[in-house]
Structure 1
Amino acid sequence: MSVSIGEALSSLVRGGMPVHFTAYDGSEAGPPDAAVGMHLRNERGLAYLLTAPGDLGLARAYVSGDLDLSGVHPGDPYDALLLLKDDLKLRVPTPSEALAIFRGLGVGRLRPPPPPPQEHLPRWRRAVEGLRHSMGRDAEVISHHYDVSNRFYELVLGPSMAYTCAVFDEPDATLEEAQAAKFDLICRKLALQPGQRLLDVGCGWGGMVRHAAREYGVKALGVTLSLEQAEWAKEAIDREGLGDLAEVRHLDYRDVMEDGFDAVSSIGLTEHIGVRNYPAYFAHLRDRLKPGGRLLNHCITRSHNRRTETGAFIDRYVFPDGELIGSGTIVRAAQDVGLEVQHTENLRQHYALTLAQWCRNLETNWDECVAEVGESTARVWGLYMAGSRVGFERGEVELHHVLATRAGVDAPAPFPLRPDWRA
């Protein structure tokens, strides 16, 4: 007995559909006047949904264009994700129910189609091709995400080219104001002074390096595993006339052997290195510092310290091999290699505001972004940034600053009685 797609979906939803769902077979489910609509365009989309249940199947169908959303812009599907997260209650069918649904829809659709080209290999396949967080594998997965198109990043991130959480002194601050405030806050936390030396690991397009050189007279070295980032940063340094103070190298942070830096900043790198590598990571950064030097670690964290993998969509489409953990694990790792942790700060709310502005940029520049990277890749970005915004608003993920110092030869590093970066 055949079953329509709308009937099959309705049978698995508790409390009714929060969106108006339509399918290529003419069936539908949910209220026709719903604010958000969802349309399944073809059999391939159905096969994605059936053969990869959960967020991966939905992502495959959406990224490939087989599943469309109406009532929201693909550059910012925030409202749709919020509605689905809050109001879509799917139940797990019994084995007999699942069999009946599959038979009614056609068993031929159980053959999984090839995933969209934007999808990275699964974890087990990556494990076959290289040790997780080896230098070679890290370089490959960083390239997967960051070497997309510098022009695309310019359109999404804006003139700052800062792809990390901004700091909003006011909720209505512009993105550029908030990114400048972020870099300035880090400079103040590091107590940078003219003539000092700064190492910025995972420097991206060189925003911190250029800000510290330009505003604080610091001699700054940045390193990144992305060749496209390094080339863009070098051009920006030359354009701003900062070549005597700022330098960016295409280099793994583990290959930086210079030491004696007054300060080290790590803004958005820790997410990529793997939790088991934290001891070696903090030891390496400690050894780059002179006695008394400061380290600022800025990274996305979880609200707990349990080891959990990122979801399939984020792992396959956005940050392959990315790992998150709570700030307590980061503090412990820093302390265990002899760094004295002086201060921590949670900027979770600021990242939700940052992501909202990136989505706004993607929506505003949608046509040019699609022309630059293709609609499927642009859809990946809208989906991941809007979904991440929900996560930060709900407290499922956080963003922590951890400020630490390297001890002197025979005594703790000097530090002010009260924080000296408030002004």
Structure 2
Amino acid sequence: MTFSGKNRLQNILCNALAQIDIGNFSVSFWDGSVRTFGQGSDFTIHFQNKESLRRLLLDLPLGFGEGYMNGDITVQGDLRQVINSGLKAEQLHKTTFKSLLNSIRLQISQKNNKKGDKYHIAHHYDLGNDFYKLWLDPQMVYSCAYFENDKDTLEQAQLQKFALCCRKLQLQPNEHLLDIGCGWGSLLIYAAKNFGVQGVGITLSQEQLDYGKEQIQKEGVEDKISLLCLDYRDLPQLQQKFHKIVSIGMFEHVGKANMGIFLKNARSVLRENGLLLLHTIGKTMEEPTNNWIRKFIFPGGYLPDLGRILKNATQLGFSFIDCENLRVHYAKTLDKWSRRFAENEQHILTMFDERFLRMWQFYLTGCAAEFTLGNIHLFQLLFSSGIRNDLPLTRRWMLEK
């Protein structure tokens, strides 16, 4: 089927959609015209104006995301289904000059230096602890959970993730554990109470730092755990060596050019034969990071590919031990966050405006779809400082409680 009409932009979109089988849906436009694909019953996308369609055709992720959050593109039906269909439409994902230009502009404007990273972290993580309390678990864990079965609650799954990380690190009483990008400090508190470690956590988020210190006092582990506002580039200033290092959901913020610096500094404060657990979103091959995510959600963010991580780590003296892909677990985590977020929309609107609400709806729903479809992954990589031939021969020690 070929669409022809007075509006060239409408024809370009509809002819591209007609070439692919991504479901039954309709597209309506600002002039009242409607194009139907299949039975058209699953959902309807409405373009409120010509400019929103033009932006989408020039850079699909940025154009659709910005149009949706601004209310220039509206959806009747399930947003998750719309995003799934869009991600499957490869014809719409062709790299355009405009999308490349947008990517270059973001790369130039979002410097991964100390000043830039401080701003980038505050942009996302300093939105207010009361906001995150609405939809995270009581431990305030903002990273992939670990589900042992489909009946697990988010609270259970996050504690199971902590237990998994601690088992992989083989934590022992009185060992010193460093958490790079410690968030609200919940993993360190768990490790101190359940494994008897001494811990240091670093973060650039003032909101997380203040809340984490309060929780440490509340849990009675102030003699075991300390949190610092410290950049990973300044790790040598600690003048301390650690038995184990963990970094969960922070590596995505360092940027492509700084991966080696992060790993070099981690190596410099890790004892010989010590273990590093690196928990990061990533890809199986190098690809540009989504322009909309970089512009509105995680400025300065970069999703590393697995090969580049391994190359940087091994060149800097780390020995690769294990990699586990928790992709499905992150999809489940995001689904639970999305539902909790939706349940608290009215409360969130007392804190932020509708544009912010739509932006976060699109972010949480879109990321869940990306993980479900296998476009992005969650890698847990275990390294040692120097060769370790004394570890158990099977992975059972990581899994058994």
Q: Tell me the residue number matched to 2:364.
A: 385
| Amino acid of the structure 2 residue aligned with 1:162 | V
8 Å Cα contact 1:142-1:225 kept in structure 2: yes
User: Structure 2 length normalisation: TM-score?
Assistant: 0.86
Instruction: Give how far 1:47 is off.
Output: 6.1
Answer yes or no: is the 8 Å Cα contact 1:5–1:23 preserved in 2.
no
1:69 maps to 75
Report how many residues are paired: 385
Once the two structures are superposed, residues 341-383 of structure 1 have per-residue CA deviations (whole angstroms, 9 ceiling, x without a partner) of 2222111111111111111111111111232222212222221
> 246, 258, 273: which is aligned to 2:254?
273
Quick check: 1:122–1:316 contact (8 Å CA) kept in 2? no
Shift of 1:49: 4.3
2:185 matched to 1:209? Answer: no
Is 1:230–2:236 an aligned residue pair?
no
What does 1:85-100 correspond to in 2, within 5 Å? Answer: 85-86=87-88
Q: Which residue of 2 aligns with 1:356?
A: 335
Contact 1:262–1:289 under 8 Å retained in 2: yes
Go from structure 1 to structure 2 and tell me whether the alpha carbon gap of 1:291 and 1:122 turns closer, same or farther (over 3 Å shift).
same
Q: Residues 237-271 of structure 1, C-alpha deviation per residue, up to 9 Å, x if partnerless?
A: 22222222222222212222332211110111111
Larger Rg: 1
Q: CA deviation at 1:167?
A: 0.8
CA contact (8 A) 2:106 2:295 kept: no
In the alignment, the residues of structure 1 paired with residue 188 and residue 375 of structure 2 have an alpha-carbon distance, to the nearest angstrom, of 31
Partner of residue 39, structure 1: 46
Judge conservation of contact 1:286–1:406 (CA < 8 Å) in 2.
Answer: yes
Distance 1:227 1:71, change over 3 A: same
* Root-mean-square deviation over aligned CA pairs: 2.8
The equivalent of 1:260 in structure 2 is 241
Q: Distance in 1 between matches of 2:93 and 2:153?
A: 42
SS at match of 2:211: helix
Q: CA deviation at 1:146?
A: 1.6
Match of 1:327 among 280, 298, 306: 306
Opposite residue 82 of structure 1, the aligned amino acid is N
Q: Corresponding residue for 2:385?
A: 406
* Structure-2 change in CA distance of 1:327 and 1:71 (3 Å): same
Equivalent AA in structure 2 for residue 362 of structure 1: F
Choose 210-219 or 81-90, whichever is displaced more.
81-90
Mapping of residues 8-407 of structure 1, within 5 Å: 9-10=13-14, 13-15=17-19, 18-30=24-36, 34-42=41-49, 45=52, 48-49=55-56, 52-72=58-78, 77-86=79-88, 124-125=104-105, 132-256=111-235, 257-258=237-238, 259-304=240-285, 306=286, 308-407=287-386
- Quote the residue 1:421 is aligned against: 398
Once the two structures are TM-superposed, the CA of residue 125 in structure 1 deviates from its matched residue by 4.9
The structure-2 alpha-carbon separation of the partners of 1:49 and 1:234, relative to structure 1 and needing over 3 Å to count, comes to same
* Rounded Cα–Cα distance in structure 2 between residues aligned with 1:9 and 1:413: 57
Gaps of 5+ in 2: 95-100
- The superposition leaves residues 220-250 of structure 1 with CA deviations (integer Å, 9 ceiling, x where unpaired) of 1111111111112122222222222222222
* Residues 413/371 of structure 1: CA separation in 2 closer, same or farther (3 Å cut): farther
Cα pair 1:296 1:402 within 8 Å, conserved: yes
TM-score by length of 1: 0.82
Q: For the Cα contact (< 8 Å) 1:5–1:25, is it kept in 2?
A: no
Identity of matched residues, % = 33
One-letter amino acid of the counterpart of residue 199, structure 2 = A
Residue type of the alignment partner of 1:415? L
**Separation in 1 of the partners of 2:192 and 2:216?**
10
Task: Name which of structure 1's ranges 14-23 and 322-331 shifts more when overlaid on structure 2.
Answer: 14-23
Shift of 1:18: 3.5
Are the equivalent residues in 2 in contact too, given 1:271–1:322 (CA < 8 A)? yes
- CA, structure 1 residues 88+80, in 2 after alignment: closer, same or farther (shift >3 Å)? farther
Residue 48 (structure 1) shift: 4.5
Q: Distance in 1 between matches of 2:357 and 2:50?
A: 23
Give the unaligned 5+ runs of structure 1: 93-120
Give 1:62 shift. 0.7
CA distance in 1, matches of 2:26, 2:90: 12
Distance 1:4 1:329 in 2: 42
Displacement, 1:144?
Answer: 1.7
What residue identity is the alignment partner of 1:41? Q
CA distance in 2, matches of 1:240, 1:205: 13
Alpha carbons of structure 1 residues 159 and 269: separation in structure 2 relative to 1, 3 Å: same
Q: Any idea what the Cα deviations from partners look like across 1:202-228, whole Å, max 9, x if unmatched?
A: 111112111112221211111111111
Q: Distance in 1 between matches of 2:398 and 2:12?
A: 58
CA distance in 1, matches of 2:266, 2:112: 17
d(CA) in 1 for partners of 2:374, 2:342: 25
